[in-house]
Each structure stands twice: as C-alpha cells, then as structure tokens.
C-alpha cells in the first residue's frame, strides 16, 4: 500500500501555531497576531476563527493533494497567477510569495467527505465543507525574516453546489509540505476521523511537534492546553481542560503513541509505524537536522524547534 494513502502532510510551522480551537460556540470571531517562530523568522496569522471541523477540511485537501501527486509530476503555478491567493499589496513592499509555486487541486465534495468520515451524499456535510473552505480562504499568513517578506492566503478557490467540483490551490507553504520540499508533520486521516474535536486538534499539534519518532520532552498539561486552545484558561476551566486533555490523550492509538501522565506532567512517545527505520518525514532543504531515535532507545535528541534554534532556510 502506498505510504501516502490517507496521509495529510501539514506544514510543520503552521501545525505548531495555536490558531485553532476544538469547538467554537456561537458567533465566530476574528483572530490576529497569532505568531510562530520559524527558520530564524516568524509566521503571523490573521483571519476568521477556525475549529476542528475546518481543520478536517484542510487536512482532507492536503491528503487528496498528496495522493494526486503520485505518478506524474504535479502541475504547479506561480502564486501571482492564482486569483485570490495573494492579499492586496501593502505599502509597495515586494511580496516574495508572488513568485513561489502553488499546487492546484481539483476534487469533489464527496472525496472530502470520505476523508473526514462523513457520508458522501450528506447535504449538511457539503454545506459545512463549503463554509469551511470560505473560512480557510480568509486566513492570511505573513512570513518575515529580516528584510524578506511573503504574504499569502492559506488557500484560494471555491467549492461548487451539490456534487459540484472543488477547485482550490494550496499556498506555497502547504505546497512545499505536500511535495516534501519543506519540513512537515504527518497526520493519518484514519486516526483523525476517530478522535473527538479536542483529540483532533491535539493529534494535529503532536504530529508536527514530533514529526519523526521517539520520545518527546516532558510537557505540562496546562502547556499542552495552551497549544490546543491557543490561550490560558482560568478558574474551573483549568480543571475542565486538564480532564479533556486526559481523555483526548487516551484516544490516541497505542500503535502510534505511548502516553504516561504523572499528576500534571505528560510523557509522550511517538512510535515508528513505518517499515523503514528512518524518520517518517523526508529529508528536505528545510529538514529537521536531528530526530529522536527509535522507540526502543530511551535517549532523546531534541529537535531544533524544541530548543528554539532556527532551521536552515529553504
């Protein structure tokens, strides 16, 4: 079986940024100022609030794009050629994203439904997917490093009605992740579909925090909660979120993850589920230089992004 079947490759830096919430109740707000240090620079996100349902649609698009790249080489287009990919010019500063390649994807609502575990003829699921694609289009990512600056929407495109086709393009960061030319985390959609919303956001973050396999640094439940909800809780909500995280950690498949909780500290290990003893991400120009050893070795080699170090530029 193709190892890429049913796998979403997520841009690692984006996967580590706390821009998602498991569930959003009531009217959605607007997020801005969400920052993630990366490659000696910083990513900053702004756009409508996103939840686990929106994340599922994004991961489905990434999984479908990866599957479509098998065999013949992908057809790429420069970002400036895709309508709606680049935000309006700001202050005349050169937008480096204009010349970066993006990956077009032609798919269907039914295909996305299969990836996220919904019925292919489910009209409510189709409506939710169309709404998610609109929100994903609204997210803008700015990457800054020194004088270099790139700004792009997360995706561009549209979804049709009924069985209508979905025609979107992934931005250059997502494109690099799908093609394996930048660091990425691997999310197995078969796992993602079985998890609760809290478990889905947690699994997404863990897959990018530990892109290879081996032990993770010990992490506190409250720190983990900050990554899952994007904010610190107060009062009774602290206890509630701790319990929700305990429940979500228990949902993780034992063939891929080993979890131990000692009071408020969590020890997590990602097991090697591949046939090859090598890491589960490709070596790329922005590769993670060091990765944790196989699970039978208790030693831990910390990743550069765990130590606050920058990765080499692409």
Average pLDDT over residues 49-67: 97
Q: What are the contacts of 298-305 at 24+ separation with CB within 8 A?
A: 298/215, 300/214, 300/215, 300/216, 300/217, 301/214, 302/217, 303/211, 305/12, 305/16, 305/38
312 secondary structure, DSSP code: P
Instruction: Judge whether 296 lies within some domain.
Output: no
Instruction: Judge whether 285 lies within some domain.
Output: no
Instruction: Judge whether 60 lies within some domain.
Output: yes
Q: Tell me how far apart the alpha carbons of residues 104 and 152 are, in angstroms, rounded to a whole number.
A: 15
Instruction: Judge whether 170 lies within some domain.
Output: yes
What tokens were used for 214? Answer: 């081996």
Whole-model pTM? 0.87
Q: Where in the sequence is the domain holding 48, given as residue range(s)?
A: 7-270
Answer yes or no: are the C-beta atoms of 2 and 210 closer than 8 Å.
no
Average pLDDT, rounded, for the chain: 84
Q: Nearest 5°: phi and psi at 67?
A: -60, -40
In percent, how much of the chain has pLDDT > 90?
Answer: 67
Residue 211's pLDDT band, with cuts at 50, 70 and 90, is: confident
144 secondary structure, DSSP code: E
Residue 93 pLDDT: 77
The tens digit of pLDDT for each residue in 142-154 reads: 999 888 899 999 9
Instruction: Judge whether 34 lies within some domain.
Output: yes
Q: Tell me how far apart the alpha carbons of residues 11 and 152 are, in angstroms, rounded to a whole number.
A: 14
Q: Tell me how far apart the alpha carbons of residues 163 and 297 are, in angstroms, rounded to a whole number.
A: 50
The tens digit of pLDDT for each residue in 69-100 reads: 877 678 999 999 999 999 987 666 789 999 99
Instruction: Judge whether 291 lies within some domain.
Output: no
Give the dihedral sign, CA 238/242/244/248: positive
Residue 39 pLDDT: 77
Q: What are the contacts of 283-287 at 24+ separation with CB within 8 A?
A: 284/176, 284/180, 284/181, 284/182, 284/183, 285/181, 285/182, 285/312, 285/313, 285/314, 286/39, 286/176, 286/181, 286/182, 286/183, 286/311, 286/312, 286/313, 286/314, 287/183, 287/311
Instruction: Judge whether 245 lies within some domain.
Output: yes
Residue 29 pLDDT: 94
Report the domain count for the chain.
1
Residue 289 region by backbone torsions, left for phi larger than 0, else alpha for psi between -120 and 50, else beta: alpha
């Amino acid at each position: 079986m193709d190892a890429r079947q049913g796998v979403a490759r997520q841009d690692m830096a984006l996967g580590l940024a706390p821009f998602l919430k498991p569930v959003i109740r009531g009217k959605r707000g607007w997020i801005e100022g969400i920052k993630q240090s990366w490659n000696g620079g910083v990513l900053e996100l702004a756009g409508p609030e996103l939840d686990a349902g929106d994340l599922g649609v994004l991961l489905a698009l990434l999984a479908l794009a990866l599957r479509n790249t098998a065999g013949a080489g992908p057809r790429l287009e420069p970002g400036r050629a895709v309508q709606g990919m680049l935000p309006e010019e700001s202050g005349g500063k050169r937008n480096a994203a204009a010349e970066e390649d993006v990956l077009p994807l032609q798919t269907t609502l039914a295909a996305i439904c299969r990836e996220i575990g919904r019925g292919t003829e489910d009209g409510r699921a189709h409506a939710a997917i169309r709404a998610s694609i609109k929100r994903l289009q609204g997210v803008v990512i700015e990457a800054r490093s020194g004088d270099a600056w790139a700004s792009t929407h997360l995706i561009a495109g549209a979804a049709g009605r009924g069985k209508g086709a979905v025609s979107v393009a992934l931005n250059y960061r997502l494109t690099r992740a799908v093609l394996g030319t930048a660091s990425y985390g691997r999310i197995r959609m078969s796992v993602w579909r079985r998890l609760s919303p809290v478990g889905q956001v947690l699994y997404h973050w863990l897959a990018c925090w530990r892109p290879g396999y081996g032990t993770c640094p010990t992490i506190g439940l409250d720190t983990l909660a900050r990554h899952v909800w994007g904010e610190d809780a107060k009062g009774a909500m602290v206890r509630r979120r701790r319990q929700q995280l305990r429940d979500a950690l228990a949902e993780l498949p034992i063939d891929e993850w080993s979890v131990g909780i000692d009071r408020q500290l969590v020890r997590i290990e990602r097991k090697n589920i591949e046939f090859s003893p090598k890491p589960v991400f490709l070596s790329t120009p922005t590769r993670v230089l060091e990765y944790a050893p196989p699970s039978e070795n208790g030693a831990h080699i910390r990743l550069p992004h765990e130590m606050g170090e920058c990765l080499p530029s692409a």
